[in-house]
Structure 1
Amino acid sequence: MNRTKNVLAIILFVLGVLALALIIFIQTLRPDYKGKKQLKGISESVSVYFDTYGIPHIYASNELDAIRALGYVHAQDRLWQMELLRRIGTGGLSEVFGEDMVETDKFFLSLGIGDASARAVSALDKNSEANQLAEAYLDGVNQFIEKGPTPVEFYLTGLQKQSFQIKDIYNTVGYMAFSFAMAHKTDPLLTNIKDKLGMPYLVDLEVGVDADTEWIKNFKAKSSDSIQNRVVALLENSLKNLPFPQFIGSNSWVIAPQKTKNGKVILANDPHIGFAQPSVWYEAHISTPTYEKYGYHMAGIPFPLLAHDRTLAYGITMFENDDVDFYYEETHPSDSTLYKTNEGWEKYETFNKTIKVKDGEDITFTFKKSKHGPILNGIADQVKGERPIAMSWIYTQGGNKVLEAIHGLSHAKNIKDFQAALPNIHAPGLNIMYGDAKGNVAWWATAKLYQLPNSTNTKFIMDGASGEQEILRYLDFEENPQAINPPWNYVYSANNQPDSIAGMLYPGYYLPENRAKRIVKLLEPRNDWDMAATQNMMLDVTSSEDAGIVMDLVKTMDIALLSQEKIEVLELLRHWDGSYPLKSVEGTIYNRWVYFFLRNTLEDELGEEMFQQILATHMIKRSIAPLAAKTASVWWDNIFTKDKVETKADIVRLAFDEAIASLKEDLGEDNIQWTWDKVHTLEHGHPIGQVALLRRFFNVGPFPVIGAREVINNMGFPYDNSRFYKVSSGPSTRRIVDFSDIENSRSILPTGQSGNPFSPHYEDQAEMYINGEFRKMMMNELEIKKTSENLLIFQPTKRKESKN
């Protein structure tokens, strides 16, 4: 008996020691939000006050010291995110996650992001302020890598920490630029549909520009005042497992003083990005005697992409211009090293790249490149065939001054300075939204736009051999879409089609007019906008289109063929206003109906693979309303029913029956229980959270969530066979800057400021975000110092006394 007690005591003691050791280990992994640390390179002490939500307010005697401290605190909260983000564009994911990411690494290596970064670094003025500040920021990051605790993800993956260099900034921006593009998902697919089915099928999908749509209006004051389907498969497979979210869309509007209650500008911005944990933005407030900015930073980038101070504010949305083109190349019939151009035969460039694979052998692969770009054939096993397809991407061509651009935006003192920095943004295409304390409001579409021959349609794979579909010229920045202080007293962007300012349309993959129409409808009639009204508008969940789409479908139904139960469901939909609160039954029925409507309309002609591919494009969002409104279409007939030609009524009724049956199967017989909260949920996934045992520790959620696709509170989800709507993208922050009360401007993050799961700020904003709450973006120094419980002081390293 005593022996048993002794054994139990020993076991309990060992378990206690292990538990204590684990607690101590976890404590060492937490970010340090208080205390004193030495930081090499600073001239005087830097004080970092962390507010209630873990946002650093950095006070320093000069900007170099401040941004060095920013690099350190940014890294202690987001080093793992920084590490992944710099790796994507240069093919470094297999080293972390193993062979499953080899195809993704091959694709990104072939794009040439790393090579473009090297060229940009070599051309960078090393003595410029932008470079000196960037190097100071990276020095702060690297000092954390050297001295700070190793994030738990590095232990779990076995990855060793490595220092950051200036090229990593460009590599990160390169991935961001590519994730904005939609052509890689769309052009090969549209070409395949055209070749397989013919142009009438594309005409009925409304892939062209609709002259009646809600366009963004320009304003400038006068001076006086098949193989291609395998290519789609390659791109889909390469991007689907990325451990970092892609950029999707966005809303922003800036209201001039004439339309605000207090006579001052209000800027609202909510960039739409794929949800993940940690969330994309890292907030930081820097204050020095000569510089102050409250900004939103991407991991590893020293200057904010969204920011404000007491003088001006700016935000972004995605322009959605077409900066990726595909070309068919013609290889010499007897010499595979040559391809045809309008000036004769030229030699393909050949590149050899090596991918490091976790728990496996290094993989070396070879790809070719024409003057247009990398040849996608051969990059992945499934892309084969004799007709080479090259991918041309504006980001990797010409000069790259993105570092100078974002430095210029964050250091502008007025609208003139701000505008001067914009032409340096060549890619990705961004809508830059601007407002200032003097009452100016502005929108600029920034990108290096170009003109092709009039007969060229960039939404299809073009002919690379003839020379007849090459770029004719690059547009001057003055020809880009823009509006500065327009007489209607606001500017906005919802990723919709911009009007022309250069006598030409700008090819792109613009989102449907749904959000744009709603924004204009809400902004136009009011001249008393304030903070509260703007917050309510950002949370608006009413679609400008969905109720109309429902009516186009409902009026197709023959009531005489329906049961009383189904008639009651249709009656619910007839009175729906298109809104998506949590208890909406109509929204659930509508989205289920639309999915089956699209499937029964398109899948028989496209096949399952191409149908899933088209569902992942912006194009399908633009096609739903036109398809629902059409009475005649080549798509209605089911090609597999040889003895019958289906009509729209047949397709709509079949889709409705399937939707009702599936809802009963998933949610029960009582349609009152088919509420939106049961099917529309948001979970913020961490890369490590894909492991089932670690999901609850690393992931945040899931939460039922209001909103839907293409409403202002845009909670996007894929249509797929799951029949549920797991939100994949949405507002990466909701942010409102009010120049009538700048120190009480408002914001929120989807989860929390920190990416460290042991930090109290890992998910402390998650429920606030779901509930539509906002918090203050603090700028008042006295208030910050009075309310902050945590103060971290960076001190200069002590100089060793010289011996006499």
Structure 2
Amino acid sequence: MKKYKKVLLVLAGLLLLVIIGIAIFVNSLKPDYGGEKSLPGISNEVTTYFDTYGIPHIYADNEPDAMRALGYVHAQDRLWQMELLRRVAKGRLSEVFGEDMIKTDKFFLTMGIDDHTKSTVSNLDKQSETIVLAQAYLDGINEFIKNGPTPVEFYLTGLEKEPFTIEDVYNAVGYMAFSFAMAHKTDPLLTSMRNKLGEEYMEDLAINSDTSTVWIKNYKGFKTDTLGTNITASVTSALDKLPIPQFEGSNSWVIAPQKTKNGKVIFANDPHIGFAQPSVWYEAHVSTPRYEKYGYHLAGVPFPLLGHDRKLAYGLTMFENDDIDFYYEESNPSDSTKYKTAEGWKDYEFVNKTIKVKDGEDVAFTYKKTHHGPVLNNIADQISGERPIAMSWIYTKPKNMVMHALYGISHAANMKEFKSALPNIHAPGLNVMYGDAEGNVAWWATAKLYQMPDSVSTKFVLDGASGEEEPLRYLDFSENPMAENPPWNYVYSANNQPDSIAGMLYPGYYLPENRAKRIVQLLDAKDDWDKESISEMILDVTSPVNTEVVSELIKLFDVTHLDSEQLVLLDSLKNWNGKYSLNTTSPVIYHRTLYYMVKNTMEDELGPEMFKQFLSTHLFKRQIAWGSSMQSGEWWDNVNTPDVVETRQDIVMKSFADAWNSLVKDFGEDSSQWTWDRVHTLEHQHPFGQVESLRKYFNVGPFPVEGTREVINNLSFPYDDTGFYKVSSGPSTRRIIDFSDVENSISILPTGQSGNPLSEHYEDQAEMYVNGKFRKMMMNKKEIEETAASILIFR
């Protein structure tokens, strides 16, 4: 018996040692927010204060030293995110995730981002301030890779850490540029729809600008076929597999002193990006004797894309301009290596690439290029013999100066210096929002815009052989949409249509007027804005457009076909104020009915696959209000019932019945239980969270959440047959900078500052975010020192 007890004690002791060993190992993988570290290359000591949310406040004697420290602390919280982001353009995701990512890698290699990066980097002035500071940042990342703890994801994938280079920075920005583009989802699809259905169907789609919607006004008053469906499906499939967030849309408004309570500019911005864990932005406050910025950084990018200091603030929304065009090419019937141009036959360029695949054989492939760009046929798994389609993308054409632009806007001291950096942004198309302590407010659409012949619609695949559908000229930046200190005393952007420029409405994939209409409605009605009222506005979940759609459709209801409970709910819907609160039922019945209405209207003509692709476009969002107001048209009739011609009223009544039946099936017959919190949820997904056993360790949520598609608090979701609205994108941060009290400006992140699942800052803002809370963006050094949770000193 004693021997048995001794054996048990020995086993217990060994188990305890194993547990302690595991605990020590796991603890060693956490970010280190305190103590002292050696950081080669710095000239003087750098002190980093971490506040209670893990945000670093870096104080250095010079900017290169500060950038080395920034690179180190950014890497220790976000190295895994940096690793994934730099792999996209290089086609190296299959090395991590295996054969499931081959199509995605093939697609991005074909886009030419990495090839364009190599060309750009080979011509860089390595001594320029932009590149010197970028390299210092990379040196900090690489020091962490060399001597810091390895994030747990590297152990789980067996991936070896590799040093970062300047190419990785440019590739990260290139991915951002492509993520903003919408033409790859839309142009081939629209061409297929037109080829299949004819022009009469196209006339009832919200393809072009609508003169009745809210446009962003300009003001310069400077004070100081199946082929298309397959391409769209292939692109959508490739992007859906990406383990990092995609850029979607955004809100921003900047209010001039004349409309604020304290007589100073107030700046608000909430860029809309796909939700993922970690979330996209890394916050950092950098301070040196000659430079200070509180900024939001993309993984692996040294200069903040959003930022502010005591002099000025800036932020971004998507311009939504059309910067991708598709061209039908014509191969020589007697020599398939040549294609037709206006100057005669030219040789296709054949590009060879190889993808390394985890636990699999390397995949070699070849694609063709024309003077327009890559031919997507074999990339999109096309049927052989189909007419080639090439993609022309502005990002890979002009000289790439985007990094210099980011340096310029983050180092500008005033509006003039800030504006001078903007022409260097050729792609992606951005609305750059600006406000400063001097009282200036402005927005500029930044992109290399070009003019097409009057008769050409870039929303369809163009003729590449004739030379008659090519750009006529590039516009000068001064011709871009912009507003500087307008007399209505605010500027805003909600990805909606800008007013005409250079004598034309610039083509794009602008979002519907919903958010713009609400923003203008609120801003026009008030002249005493302050930080508190702006923080309420940025959380607004009311849609004036959705109530208009309800009012339009409800006239069509034949109440004699409804029972008493349906009449009660219909009456509630009629009186709905358009607000998306968690305990309301009107949003649920509205969206279920709306989905079935679109499905019952369009799927019979398009077919299931084309209909699914249509739902993924911005065009679908524009079509909702437009289409619901069409009293007649080809779309309303169901082509599968040749003996009956359906009307709008028939479709609306059927859709309401379909929605009702689906809700009874999902939640029972008590309609009081059909509340928004049961269908509208947010879960921040880590790539490893797709494995059910790892989900609770890596994912954050799910949470019931207010908001919906195209309200100011734009918590958007895809439509499908489930009738459950899993939020896919929304505010990637909410920032409010009040120049009457800059040091108490506020913001929030969707989950937390750290991307390391073992950090206490992995999800410490998640519940605050869904509850509409904010925290301070600290800039007062004394307060930072007194309240710091920890101090990390680099020597």
Q: Measure the CA separation in 2 of the matches of 1:10 and 1:234.
A: 59
> How much has 1:739 moved relative to structure 2?
0.3
Q: What amino acid maps onto 1:714 in structure 2? A: N
Classify the secondary structure of the residue corresponding to 1:434.
strand
Matched with 2:409 is: 409
1:443–1:492 Cα contact (<8 Å) kept: yes
Correspondence for 1:798: none
Which amino acid counterpart does residue 776 of structure 1 have in structure 2?
K
Give me the whole-angstrom Cα distance separating, in 2, the residues matched to 1:17 and 1:241: 41
Residue equivalent to 1:155:
155
Contact 2:38 2:794 in 1 (8 A): yes
- The CA deviation at 1:8 is 3.7
1:638-649 equivalences in 2 (<5 Å): 638-649=638-649
How big is the shift at 1:203?
1.5
Query: How far is 1:222 from its partner?
Result: 8.0
Aligned equivalents of 1:471, 1:130: Cα separation in 2: 32
Code of the aligned partner of 1:530: D
Task: Answer yes or no: is 1:652 the counterpart of 2:652.
Answer: yes
Residue identity matched to 2:281: W
Shift of 1:76: 0.2
Aligned to 1:279: 279
Which residue pairs with 1:771 in the alignment? 771
Distance 1:169 1:656, change over 3 A: same
Could you say which residue in structure 2 is the equivalent of 1:122?
122
What residue in structure 2 maps to residue 330 of structure 1? 330
Tell whether the 8 Å contact from 1:231 to 1:383 is kept in structure 2 after alignment: no
Q: Which residue of 1 aligns with 2:669?
A: 669
Assess if the C-alpha contact under 8 Å between 1:106 and 1:380 holds in 2.
no
Corresponding residue of 1:440: 440
Letter in 2 for 1:95: E
Q: Post-superposition shift, 1:188?
A: 0.4
Residue 722 of structure 1: how far off its partner (Å): 1.7
Q: 1:47-58 alignment to 2 at 5 Å? A: 47-58=47-58
* Alpha-carbon distance in structure 2 between the residues aligned to 1:203 and 1:732: 36
Q: Where do residues 542-561 of structure 1 align in structure 2 (5 Å cutoff)? A: 542-561=542-561
Write the distance in 2 (CA, Å) between the matches of 1:453 and 1:630: 30
Residues 742-781 of structure 1: matches in 2 within 5 Å?
Answer: 742-781=742-781
CA distance in 2, matches of 1:540, 1:759: 32
Displacement of 1:501 in angstroms is 2.6
Paired letter, 1:443: W
Distance 2:2 2:682 in 1: 55
Residue 627 of structure 1 aligns to a residue whose secondary structure is helix
Q: How many angstroms apart in 1 are the aligned matches of 2:28 and 2:202?
A: 59
| Residue 229 (structure 1) shift | 1.3
Task: Show CA shifts across 1:246-301 (max 9, x none).
Answer: 10000000000000000000000000000000000000000110000000000000
Relative to 1, partners in 2 of residues 1:623 and 1:74: Cα closer, same or farther, differing over 3 Å?
same
Shift of 1:386: 2.6
After TM superposition, list the pairs within 5 Å mapping 1:348-367 onto structure 2: 348-367=348-367
CA displacement, residues 626-660 of structure 1 (integer Å, 9 cap, x when unaligned)? 11111102111111112111111111111100101
Q: CA deviation at 1:166?
A: 0.3
Match of 2:29 in 1: 29
The one-letter amino acid of 1:238's match is: A
Instruction: Tell me if 1:179 matches 2:210.
Output: no
CA distance in 1, matches of 2:151, 2:383: 38
The alpha-carbon deviation at position 6 of structure 1 amounts to 4.4
Alignment of 1:471-490 (within 5 A): 471-490=471-490
Contact 2:235 2:380 survives alignment (8 Å): no
Name the SS for the 2:335 alignment partner.
Answer: coil
Deviation at 1:383, TM superposition (A): 5.3
Alpha-carbon distance in structure 1 between the residues aligned to 2:211 and 2:197: 26
Pairing 1:301–2:301 present = yes
Partner of 1:634: 634
Classify 1:70/1:198 alpha carbon distance in 2 versus 1 (closer, same or farther; 3 Å). same
SS of the residue 1:688 aligns to: helix
Counterpart residue identity of residue 81, structure 2: Q
- Distance in 2 (CA, whole Å) between partners of 1:384 and 1:508 is 31
CA distance in 1: counterparts of 2:505 and 2:385, whole angstroms: 34
Structure-2-length-normalised TM-score = 0.99
For 1:205, the aligned partner's letter is: L
Please state whether the residue corresponding to 2:211 is helix, strand or coil: coil
Q: TM-score, normalised by structure 1?
A: 0.98
- Structure 2 residue aligned with 1:43: 43
SS of the residue corresponding to residue 713 of structure 2 reads coil
The whole-number CA distance in structure 2 between the counterparts of 1:228 and 1:439 is: 49
**Structure 1 position 380, deviation (Å):** 4.0
Amino acid at match of 1:198: G
Letter of the structure 1 residue corresponding to residue 249 of structure 2: G
Assess, with a 3 A threshold, how the Cα gap between structure 1 residues 301 and 471 changes in structure 2: closer, same or farther: same
Aligned mates of 1:672, 1:449 — CA distance in 2: 51
Distance 1:629 1:339 in 2: 45
Other-structure match for 1:213: 213
**In structure 1, the residue corresponding to 2:325 is in which secondary structure?**
strand
| CA offsets 1:400-422 (integer angstroms, 9 cap, x no match) | 00110000000000000000000
Q: For residue 384 of structure 1, report the CA deviation from its aligned partner.
A: 3.9
Q: Is the 8 A contact 1:234 1:382 kept in 2?
A: no
| 8 Å CA contact retained: 1:377, 1:385 | no
Report the Cα distance in structure 1 between the residues aligned to 2:5 and 2:336, rounded to whole angstroms: 80
Partners of 1:666 and 1:355 in 2: CA distance: 44
In the alignment, the residues of structure 2 paired with residue 175 and residue 11 of structure 1 have an alpha-carbon distance, to the nearest angstrom, of 53
- Structure 1 gaps, min length 5: 796-804
* SS of alignment partner, residue 32 of structure 1: coil
CA contact (8 A) 1:230 1:383 kept: no
Q: Which residue number corresponds to residue 198 of structure 2?
A: 198
Taking the aligned partners of 2:240 and 2:606, their CA distance within structure 1 comes to 21
Aligned match of 2:73: 73
Matched to 1:284, the amino acid is A
Deviations 1:463-512 (A, max 9, x none): 00000000110000000000000000000000000001311111100000
Question: What aligned pairs does 1:399-798 form with structure 2 within 5 A after superposition?
Answer: 399-795=399-795
- Between the two proteins, the alignment pairs up a number of residues equal to 794
Residue identity (%):
66
Structure 1 residue 10, shift from structure 2 partner: 4.0
- Paired with 1:713 and 1:506, the residues of 2 have a C-alpha distance of 27
CA deviation profile, 1:228-259 (whole Å, cap 9, x unmatched): 11111211111111001110000000000000
Which secondary structure does the structure 1 equivalent of 2:431 belong to?
strand
CA RMSD in angstroms comes to 1.1
Q: 8 Å contact 2:222–2:485 — kept in the other structure?
A: no
Contact 1:227 1:385 (C-alpha < 8 Å) held by counterparts: no
- Give the unaligned 5+ runs of structure 2: none
SS of corresponding position for 1:443:
strand
User: Tell me, what secondary structure is at the counterpart of 1:350?
Assistant: strand
Alpha-carbon contact 2:229-2:613 (below 8 Å) kept = no
Moved more, 626-635 or 306-315: 626-635
Question: Are the aligned partners of 2:277 and 2:755 in contact in 1 as well (CA < 8 Å)?
Answer: yes
SS of structure 1 residue aligned to 2:457: coil
- Take 1:542 and 1:11, find their aligned partners in 2: how far apart are those partners? 62
SS for the counterpart of 1:337 is: strand
Task: Give the SS at the match of 1:336.
Answer: strand
Aligned to 1:801: none
Query: For the structure 1 residues 383 and 269, does the alpha-carbon distance in structure 2 shift closer, same or farther, using more than 3 Å as the test?
Result: farther
With 546-555 and 606-615 compared, the bigger mean Cα shift is at 546-555
Distance 1:384 1:2 in 2: 79
CA distance in 1 between counterparts of 2:551 and 2:282 reads: 43
SS of equivalent to 1:307: strand
Q: Counterpart amino acid of 1:717?
A: F
Cα pair distance change 1:564/1:36, threshold 3 Å: same
**1:167 equivalent in structure 2:** 167
Contact 2:341 2:464 (C-alpha < 8 Å) held by counterparts: yes
Q: Give 1:329-408 correspondences, 5 Å limit.
A: 329-382=329-382, 384-408=384-408
Match of 1:403, SS state, is: helix
Whether 2:146 is the aligned partner of 1:146: answer yes
> Could you tell me how far apart the structure 2 residues matched to 1:135 and 1:451 are?
37
Rounded Cα–Cα distance in structure 2 between residues aligned with 1:399 and 1:634 = 46
Give the letter for the 1:55 counterpart: I
Tell me if structure 2 keeps the 8 A contact 1:376–1:383.
Answer: no
Question: Which amino acid in structure 2 is aligned with residue 265 of structure 1?
Answer: V
Partner of 2:101: 101
* Structure 2 partner of 1:90: 90
Q: Give the Cα–Cα distance (whole angstroms) in 1 for the partners of residues 203 and 51 of structure 2.
A: 55
